[in-house]
Amino acid sequence: MPVDLQALYPKLVHLMLDTVFVVDGDSHILFVSDACESLLGYRADELVGSLITNYMHPDDLSATRASIVRVMNGQHHVDFRNRYLRKDGSTVHILWSARWYKEEEVRIGVARDVTALVQAEEELRFLAHHDPLTKLTNRSLFYDRLTTSISAARRHQNRLALLFLDINDFKLINDTYGHAVGDGVLCTVARRLESCLRETDTVARMGGDEFTVLLTDIQSIKSVSQKIDQILTVMAKPLGAEFGEISMPSCSIGVACYPADGEDADTLLKHADNAMYKVKKCR
């Protein structure tokens, strides 16, 4: 018995994991496949007759409308991404393949949920420039920001300061209480450093128990000394109850100022590092 493919087509459309939309020239939804309920949280009967633009993320409306114009002018889109708002108010990232069929005067689009992919891409981008444990800026991004800040300071004849911070006797914490506790101490240090800084400043974990702080647009050497005193005061506060009787370790801070101690990133880092070790030896 021959198979009636024409009769099967509607069933095949509803079996697709991706969602099929049919929209008229004025962006009214004429048809959606069953997968739409999983994608947007709406049943087909809730969507048919409404404007598809009603469900687009407001920040993506302009780019999406421009894409619609291109599609209706005969350009077949196979890789357009935008965001839609689900019925529950959450955001879904969608990858589209769309085409305008002039004879039928409809635009057919196939929508794929790529939210997990987008989140994975964002996480990879974040990890490329941040320390995975403390979530602080990593060595690579810090170096770039330091270089950029030096160039800006040179142009505007401003000053900046670079602090190099090391946790004293941190190895003893790892050896005595384990690396999980040591990691907790590092994260505590990171949050405390962040609490001391302005939005224009940058704190980074350079590796191990070493951190750097970039202070931009410094008004005076006194302000740098005050910032160091603030950091030392915050660092001296006891650890939280989750650490039991473990004491917060002290830290040693070295400082280098632009342009007095160097006019390039490497020189400033070396100067601050050396200054930190001098402080460490004197404690």
Annotated catalytic residues are: 209
Spatial neighbors of 183 by CB under 8 A, at least 6 apart, are: 133
User: Is the CB of residue 150 less than 8 Å from the CB of residue 265?
Assistant: yes
CA-to-CA distance for 222 and 114, rounded, in angstroms?
52
* Other beta carbons less than 10 A from residue 166's beta carbon: 19
Q: What is the CA radius of gyration of the chain?
A: 28
Neighbouring-strand partners of residue 94? 82, 113
CA-to-CA distance for 168 and 250, rounded, in angstroms?
6
Give how far Cα 51 sits from Cα of 71, 93, 168, Å. 17, 19, 63
Neighbouring-strand partners of residue 109? 21, 98
CA-to-CA distance for 166 and 62, rounded, in angstroms?
49
Q: Where are the alpha helices (DSSP H) in the chain?
A: 5-15, 36-40, 44-47, 61-72, 115-129, 139-156, 170-177, 179-195, 221-235, 265-282
